Amino acid sequence: MARSNDEVAALFQEYADLISITGGDAYRARVYEKAARSVGGYHADVSTLDAKGLQEIPNVGKSIAEKITEYVRTGGVSAVEELRARIPAGVRRLTAIPTLGPKKASVLYEELGIASVEELADAIHAERLRGLKGFGPKTEENILHGIALLRSAGDRVLLDAALDLAEDVVARLSAVPGCRRCAYAGSLRRVRETIGDLDVLAAAADSAPLMRAFTELPYVTEVIAHGTTKTSVRTTKGLAVDLRVVPPDSWGAALVYFTGSKAHNIRIRERAVHHKLKLSEYGLFDTETGEKIVSATEEEVYDRLGLPWIPPTLREDRGEIEAGLKGELPELVTEADLRGDLHTHTDLTDGLAPLEEMVAAAADRGYSYYAVTDHGPDLYMQRMTDERMLAQRERVRALDGRFGRRRGGMRLLHGAELNIGPDGDVDWPGEFLAGFDLCVASIHSHFRQDRDTLTRRLVRACENPYVDLIGHPTTRLIGKRPGIDADLDAVFAACARTGTVLEINAHPDRLDLRDEDILRARRHGVKFAVDSDAHATLHLAHMRYGIGTAQRGWLTADDVVNTWPLSRLRRFLAQGRPGRRAA
């Protein structure tokens, strides 16, 4: 389940928004935004800390620590409640639209009385916003896009939130006497980027103890339906969870059936019919006699249908059946294949942890190498200078000596995340960039340039001989910001031509590239890196989500450069890079 940190972080972000809506001090709003990020990324659960421990969290002073303590004690913060009471509910509903800021939401309510997403959409189509200052056609287009994003997200949650809940449910139910097997299934097992509801499957001879334990879980707020084979509940996060209990000897067939996808299941049921069989959640049966053929394991079910076991991340009817019949299913990359992380940040820029803590946490993950890539100076709010970056390089080299000398030790790479400017330029001239072991380049602004301009911008970055990797290539934030409108096939072709790596950013808010884009890029011959983009030590564990996305894109370990030994990686990065050492 989510830690108290996540709840406090969400509350402080809301508080910052409320301060902005009410015309409060902008500096104060930023203070709470920073505190939200720091609390969310802090390694210790805030509910376990005293006042002194709370104030050791970056950006948390005495007043903020007191609010955290109040939340842990009471489940709320009076200052937040007071601001909520001052703002009409309609304005708060409008701020849920990803592209609509709190100030504009307040103007819409005060000037036009708009208090719902539906009213706003109608007002835009009726051109009622045209008379308001700052609400031109482009703003209307952006707001409509945000409304579409909001509606498409619906009640879906991000992968990490769903996985936290699912793993807790599975752990608790597995401990119930009589439970033989328990696992999550559905779109979560297939590692979809957002989850609508959770499907949990259990095997037991008697379902009653499991169903009772399920409805009594501490985060269950409503029992939607209660039965002997299926029970549905709603949780404190608003996420619905279905529990299905099957006989132990039906486990394999049930896991296939409830994992999906719907399209994949249709294909395998068609194969069953072709073999005069019928597939259900209880087993694979002979159509004529009704005899159960197999059902205990997924491998048995697939084998009886003439197929190898197909990994859940491939079960989307995107060619996996045909590949299985030909013996051409890929050996998918796994988290265990990763040897390093090539995109991370420290508190030198917008990270939360010092260099030494990030390096130590990476070493604890057993990596062979680890890249530190703080932001360049073109993101002016990060206050980067040549001198600060070179001083960090000296510290990285010293730590490299300390960690790399150990048997099987971790080598450190000093890099930077460069900003791809509006014309495709990046921070620093070539002679300065030549001193880095690795350069990631990413778009951080001017997201709404036209398609041709955005395409040229990315292609030019790929053609820069010092750019090794394009970070979060489409810039999307799931449910908050759409990906940029660029000709991705042209970008993929440029990456293949120049040897520029494309990132699969593992942060659950991004998962960028998407699985569909990975499939297309792979056909161009592009290489990839699965990176955490960690801004705190806890974020290093996000790799699991990036690996799931890479698997959905059919990638093998050879497709992912940070599964390679360091010597091979260095040789690859040195190709065509002036002054870059290969070993």
Q: Residue by residue, what is the 3-state secondary structure of 436-499?
A: CCEEEEECCCCCCCCHHHHHHHHHHHHHCCCCCEECCCCCCECCCECCCCCCHHHHHHHHHHHC
Please, which pLDDT band fits residue 582 given cuts at 50, 70 and 90? low
Kindly state the average pLDDT of the residues 290-303: 94
Q: Indicate the pTM of the whole model.
A: 0.87
Does residue 280 contact residue 257 with C-beta atoms inside 8 Å? yes
- Check pLDDT > 80 for residue 568: yes
Give me the pLDDT at residue 152, please: 65
Distances (CA, A) of 61 to 65, 326, 357: 6, 62, 21
The rounded distance, in Å, linking the Cα atoms of 341 and 503 is 11
Give me the pLDDT at residue 144, please: 85
- Check pLDDT > 60 for residue 380: yes
- Check pLDDT > 90 for residue 115: no
Give me the pLDDT at residue 393, please: 97
- Check pLDDT > 90 for residue 98: no
The model's pLDDT over 49-89, given as tens digits with 9 standing for 90+, comes to 998 999 988 889 999 999 999 998 988 899 888 888 887 77
Distances (CA, A) of 440 to 212, 470, 503: 51, 6, 9
Least confident of 119-123, 148-152, 389-393: 148-152
Kindly state the average pLDDT of the residues 309-322: 97
Q: How far is CA 523 from the centre of its chain?
A: 24
The rounded distance, in Å, linking the Cα atoms of 453 and 176 is 58
Amino acid of residue 389: M
Running DSSP on this structure, what letter comes out for residue 500?
P
The rounded distance, in Å, linking the Cα atoms of 533 and 344 is 5
Give me the pLDDT at residue 403, please: 84
Give me the pLDDT at residue 481, please: 86
Short-list 473, 478, 477, CA closest to 443: 473
- Check pLDDT > 70 for residue 583: no
Burial of 74 (0-12, 13-18, 19+ CB in 10 A): exposed
Does residue 283 contact residue 257 with C-beta atoms inside 8 Å? no
| Other beta carbons less than 10 A from residue 12's beta carbon | 28
Please, which pLDDT band fits residue 560 given cuts at 50, 70 and 90? very high
The model's pLDDT over 249-282, given as tens digits with 9 standing for 90+, comes to 999 999 999 999 999 999 999 999 999 999 999 9
Give me the pLDDT at residue 282, please: 93
Sequence-separated (6 or more) residues with CB below 8 Å from residue 75: none
Burial state string for 501-538 with b = 16 or more CB within 10 A and e = fewer than 16: bbbbbbbbbbbbbbbebbbebbebebbbbbbbbbbbbb
Residues in the chain: 583
| Other beta carbons less than 10 A from residue 395's beta carbon | 18
Structure tokens at 573: 């990065």
Characterise 263 by phi-psi region: left (phi > 0), alpha (psi -120 to 50), beta (else).
alpha
Element spanning 375, H or E: strand 369-375
Structure tokens at 329: 């299913």
Sequence-separated (6 or more) residues with CB below 8 Å from residue 464: 424, 426, 441
- Check pLDDT > 80 for residue 99: no
Does residue 341 contact residue 370 with C-beta atoms inside 8 Å? yes
Please, which pLDDT band fits residue 494 given cuts at 50, 70 and 90? very high
Short-list 423, 421, 575, 415, CA closest to 500: 575
Sequence-separated (6 or more) residues with CB below 8 Å from residue 377: 384, 385, 386, 427, 428
Domains in the chain and their CATH numbers? 4-153 (1.10.150.110), 157-246 (3.30.460.10), 251-325 (3.30.210.10), 335-574 (3.20.20.140)
- Highest average pLDDT, of 53-57, 159-163, 341-345, comes from 341-345
Distances (CA, A) of 26 to 11, 18, 81, 382: 17, 11, 19, 18
